[in-house]
Amino acid sequence: MQLEDINTVAVLGAGNMGHGIAEVAAMAGYDVNMRDINDEFVQNGYDQIEWSLNKLAENDQLSEEADTVLERITPLVDMGEACADADVVIEAVPEQMEIKKDVYGELEEVAADDAIFATNTSSLSITDLAEVTERPERFCGMHFFNPPVRMPLVEVISGAESDEETLDVIEDLAEDFGKSPVRVHKDSPGFIVNRILVPLMNEAAWLVSDEEATIAEVDSTTKYGMGLPMGSFELGDQVGNDVSYHVLEYMHEVLGDAYEPAPLLEEKVENEELGKKTGKGFYDYEDGPGAEIPTDEQSDLVEARLLATMANEAAKLIGNDVAPPASIDEATQLGAGFPDGPVKMVDDYGLDDLLETLEEAAEQTGYERYEPADYLEARAAEGGFYDQDDDDEGVDFETIRVEYPAEYVGHIVIDRPHRMNTISDDLLAELSTAIDQLSDDDEVRAILLTGEGDKAFSAGADVQSMAGSGADPIEGQELSRAGQQAFGKLEACDLPVVAGIDGYCLGGGMELATCADLRVASERSEFGQPELNLGLIPGWGGTQRLANVIGEGRAKEIILTAERYDAETMADYGFVNDVVDNDDLEDTALELAADLAGGPPIALKFTKRAMLAGRDDTDAGLEYEASAFGHLMATDDLMEGITAFMGDGEPEFEGN
Ligand SMILES: C/C=C/C(=O)SCCNC(=O)CCNC(=O)[C@H](O)C(C)(C)COP(=O)(O)OP(=O)(O)OC[C@H]1O[C@@H](n2cnc3c(N)ncnc32)[C@H](O)[C@@H]1OP(=O)(O)O
């Protein structure tokens, strides 16, 4: 079967995951039969989809009418009606083997012989589930993350007998749903994301059970030291302590004592303190303030143990050919919002140090979970999971991408969509390197700067990592300088720079956009310098450079009020050069950059320099202008420009 052969998708189960998957499939244009065991369940799921589609439409995030999408979904109770015509059946019924077995028994009786079955299980074995069907080769895992409509990741998991064609077509289907599939090559408990996260949360709980750390220390370290989106216990409360506990029990049963649940976790489940959903877990959400995590209780021991746990799990996944390092990193970033992938994090920390941490802990405690995987030992000797000499092809960026979408255009994409493209120290350093790289490249004559995704160009400085770096004034000053310098490099670079702004352009994001030469924005974009709301000032050049673009009056208004402004207003203020339809932003910004790239490179360079030189000193600017004008007289570009003008042709400037 090919993607083109899929018209009808059946989704079994109309609960949280089931109705979310049905919604995603319908949004991608498929006819969807959503089935549950009674009218109430299926109607409930349908109502939730209706609510969600209307919300998306309200927020301009739906490309067609909500009703048009809803009409593609048929709520059903009868298994035959739901599945007889389905090309793909996605099963999302409760996570109990017996229930799933019954469902597959019923399904086999009505489904077409060539239909593919995909299970959304997050914990059961794909191979075991496939065995209860008569088509294990046309069966695989298709694991969505909650809520499916928002979360980009789909793990596509091979069972022992899944054939390549099945996996390929389910991967294509996930892509057609607008998701990012990551292949899991072997059926292994927890697949990728849960295999990293659940042992991490368990290790956190063991550290507290064994009185090696407090909850505050663990969460302060996880969130502010390691820069993960949440503290380990905060995450546990979010996921549900019963859910993590059951996944752990399953891992414990299949993989052995290294996955024994920590007493603290067990206790929470026994006391029904399951997290946010019960109002209390590790934190109290009803009678207390919820997860209030201190920024200043970070602990080296906690960091080393948590990273060592991730390193050991990654080693087991990579060493057993479940997934390569890049897939583990991609899946965990997409599925759990990690700013860096876990494999990259442990490589950066040093695998040999983490191996030592495990060995010492194993000796001290005798716990099996600290036994290092063989593959970890092997890679520690090689210096890391990633090949250490992989990057001699050029610079490898983590927080940005550099692409070449058109002749003479270098495109820098701010690539942290899971964190609203916020700007970290690393990003500042990489941006600076990328500007140098593009400036030195003879094949690049204009820079286009955008943010990944349609949510944000950039929501500014990464406030979380700023909070994590403590209250050191000297470090703060250095951070401000680093931003001023990186953005200043863009402003002063010899190439024309176009910022394509789609979504939020706030704080440091707006200070960055200010350093572009031209700004194009989508209608939905929002601008602002909200730093004063945080008790800060725009510290990456905003107090100086914004006034250069829009005048001091408007700059003061924007900075002092800390209000948000729509794109049209920012065009009126002279900040945005052009406002375009949301769908046209990418093409318009690229066209503009390509157009500038076709201009005379030397004259462009001199123009930028003259304007910058004259910003605070008109005489100096005029002097530079005169000298540049003189220099240009002797260029081939001038001859090319004049000849083309006289002959009514298009000039082809060489930059000579
Ligand atoms: C020198 C420079 C200084 C500065 O730049 S200071 C920072 C200035 N920027 C801001 O103050 C913007 C702060 N962010 C916001 O106001 C809102 O967010 C938005 C308007 C951008 C989006 O709102 P919504 O659509 O409701 O999304 P959401 O749930 O608030 O955010 C999604 C995720 O993105 C994280 N996030 C957003 N902005 C930042 C930031 N600036 N630093 C760190 N994280 C940020 C959130 O926390 C959350 O994360 P989770 O999904 O894990 O809860």
Atom of ligand 1 nearest to the CA of 462: 42
| CA 552–ligand 1 middle distance (angstroms) | 27
Going by the DSSP 8-state scheme, the letter that residue 141 receives in this structure is E
CB 608 within 8 Å of CB 615: no
pLDDT tens for residues 526-552?
999 999 999 999 999 999 999 999 999
Task: Provide the token pair at 586.
Answer: 């990418």
Q: Collapse the DSSP code of 151 into the 3-class scheme (helix H, G, I; strand E, B; otherwise coil) and give the result.
A: coil
Pick one of 3.40.50.2300, 3.10.580.10, 2.40.50.90, 1.10.1040.50 as the CATH number of 193-382. Answer: 1.10.1040.50
CB 575 within 8 Å of CB 492: no
Residue 617 pLDDT level (bands cut at 50, 70, 90): confident
Mean pLDDT over residues 275-287, rounded?
Answer: 95
Residue 461 pLDDT level (bands cut at 50, 70, 90): very high
Q: Identify residue 76 by its one-letter amino acid code.
A: L
| CA 459–ligand 1 middle distance (angstroms) | 6
Q: How far apart are CA 651 and CA 183, in angstroms?
A: 49
Residue 645: CA count within 13 A, CB half-sphere? 6
- Least confident piece of the model among 258-262, 271-275, 413-417, 629-633: 629-633
Atom of ligand 1 nearest to the CA of 337: 52
Q: How much is the pLDDT for 468?
A: 72
Atom of ligand 1 nearest to the CA of 506: 9
Q: Collapse the DSSP code of 221 into the 3-class scheme (helix H, G, I; strand E, B; otherwise coil) and give the result.
A: helix
Residue 515: CA count within 13 A, CB half-sphere? 28
Atom of ligand 1 nearest to the CA of 480: 1
Query: b/e map of 374-394 (b: 16 or more CB within 10 Å)?
Result: ebbbebbeeebbbeeeeeeee
Going by the DSSP 8-state scheme, the letter that residue 517 receives in this structure is S
Mean pLDDT over residues 562-583, rounded?
Answer: 97
CB 124 within 8 Å of CB 101: no
Q: How much is the pLDDT for 199?
A: 97
CB 161 within 8 Å of CB 133: no
Pocket test for ligand 1, best of 60, 334, 419, 466 (most atoms within 8 A of CB): 419
pLDDT tens for residues 312-352?
999 999 999 999 999 999 999 999 988 889 999 999 999 99
| CA 526–ligand 1 middle distance (angstroms) | 13
CB 400 within 8 Å of CB 426: no
Catalytically annotated residues: 143
Q: How far apart are CA 57 and CA 52, in angstroms?
A: 9
Closest Cα to atom 49 of ligand 1: 419
Closest Cα to atom 8 of ligand 1: 507
Q: How much is the pLDDT for 389?
A: 59
Atom of ligand 1 nearest to the CA of 420: 34
- Integer CA distances (angstroms), 299 to 295, 313, 341, in order: 11, 22, 21
Mean pLDDT over residues 636-648, rounded?
Answer: 89
Closest Cα to atom 21 of ligand 1: 459
pTM of the model: 0.70
Closest Cα to atom 15 of ligand 1: 459
Strand 564-566 to strand 526-528: parallel, antiparallel, or no bridges (unpaired)?
Answer: antiparallel
Looking at every residue in the chain, the average pLDDT score rounds to 94
Atom of ligand 1 nearest to the CA of 564: 20
- Which segments of 193-321 does DSSP mark as H helices, in order? 193-209, 215-220, 232-239, 241-255, 263-270, 300-319
Mean pLDDT over residues 518-523, rounded?
Answer: 98
Q: Is ipTM strictly over 0.85?
A: yes
Q: How far apart are CA 272 and CA 205, in angstroms?
A: 16
Residue 469 pLDDT level (bands cut at 50, 70, 90): low
Pocket test for ligand 1, best of 420, 431, 533 (most atoms within 8 A of CB): 420
In the numeric block, the tokens 């500042």 are attached to 428
Mean pLDDT over residues 451-466, rounded?
Answer: 92
Closest Cα to atom 19 of ligand 1: 459
| CA 472–ligand 1 middle distance (angstroms) | 23
| CA 504–ligand 1 middle distance (angstroms) | 9
Chain-centroid distance, C-alpha 547 = 33
Three state DSSP letters for 353-417: HHHHHHHHHHHHHCCHHHCCCHHHHHHHHHCCCCCCCHHHHCCCCCCEEEEEEECCEEEEEECCH
Closest Cα to atom 14 of ligand 1: 459
pLDDT of 392 strictly over 90: no
Compute the C-alpha angle 129/150/414, nearest 5°: 120
Pick one of 3.40.30.10, 3.90.226.10, 3.40.50.300, 3.30.70.3040 as the CATH number of 400-597. Answer: 3.90.226.10
Residue 257: CA count within 13 A, CB half-sphere? 5
Phi/psi at 517 (5° precision): -85, -40
| Cβ contacts of 219 within 8 Å, gap of 6 or more | 230, 231, 232, 233, 234, 291, 293
pLDDT tens for residues 598-609?
999 999 999 999
Closest Cα to atom 12 of ligand 1: 459
Q: How much is the pLDDT for 393?
A: 45
Atom of ligand 1 nearest to the CA of 530: 11
Query: Could you tell me which residue, 508 or 123, shows the higher pLDDT?
Result: 508
Q: How much is the pLDDT for 634?
A: 83
Strand 73-76 to strand 578-580: parallel, antiparallel, or no bridges (unpaired)?
Answer: unpaired
Single out the residue of 315, 313, 304 nearest to residue 377, CA to CA: 315
Q: How much is the pLDDT for 624?
A: 86
| CA 487–ligand 1 middle distance (angstroms) | 20
Mean pLDDT over residues 205-214, rounded?
Answer: 97
Q: How far apart are CA 512 and CA 278, in angstroms?
A: 43
CATH number of 601-646: 1.10.12
Q: How much is the pLDDT for 630?
A: 87
**Containing H/E element for 12?**
strand 8-12
Single out the residue of 270, 207, 271, 277 nearest to residue 236, CA to CA: 277
- Integer CA distances (angstroms), 601 to 432, 438, 596, 621, 652, in order: 21, 14, 9, 19, 11
Q: Identify residue 385 by its one-letter amino acid code.
A: F
| CA 461–ligand 1 middle distance (angstroms) | 9
CB 304 within 8 Å of CB 354: yes
Closest Cα to atom 2 of ligand 1: 508
Mean pLDDT over residues 487-498, rounded?
Answer: 95
Atom of ligand 1 nearest to the CA of 464: 43
Task: Provide the token pair at 592.
Answer: 């503009």
Per CATH, 193-382 and 601-646 having the same topology is answered no
Strands of the sheet with 526-528, listed across from one edge: 456-458, 504-506, 526-528, 564-566
Instruction: List the domain boundaries for the chain.
Output: 3-184, 193-382, 400-597, 601-646
pLDDT of 74 strictly over 70: yes
Q: How much is the pLDDT for 470?
A: 66
pLDDT tens for residues 140-180?
999 999 999 999 999 999 999 999 999 999 999 999 999 99
Q: Collapse the DSSP code of 577 into the 3-class scheme (helix H, G, I; strand E, B; otherwise coil) and give the result.
A: coil
| CA 420–ligand 1 middle distance (angstroms) | 7
**Containing H/E element for 564?**
strand 564-566
Residue 394 pLDDT level (bands cut at 50, 70, 90): low
Q: How much is the pLDDT for 21?
A: 98
Q: How much is the pLDDT for 339?
A: 82
Residues in the ligand 1 pocket, defined by CB under 6 Å: 229, 337, 419-420, 422, 459-464, 483, 504, 506-508, 530-531, 534, 536, 538-540
| CA 369–ligand 1 middle distance (angstroms) | 36
Residue 395 pLDDT level (bands cut at 50, 70, 90): low
Closest Cα to atom 25 of ligand 1: 455
Pocket test for ligand 1, best of 55, 145, 463, 502 (most atoms within 8 A of CB): 463
| CA 341–ligand 1 middle distance (angstroms) | 20
Closest Cα to atom 47 of ligand 1: 419
Q: How far apart are CA 323 and CA 329, in angstroms?
A: 10
Phi/psi at 124 (5° precision): -85, 160
Superfamily of chain region 3-184: NAD(P)-binding Rossmann-like Domain (3.40.50.720)
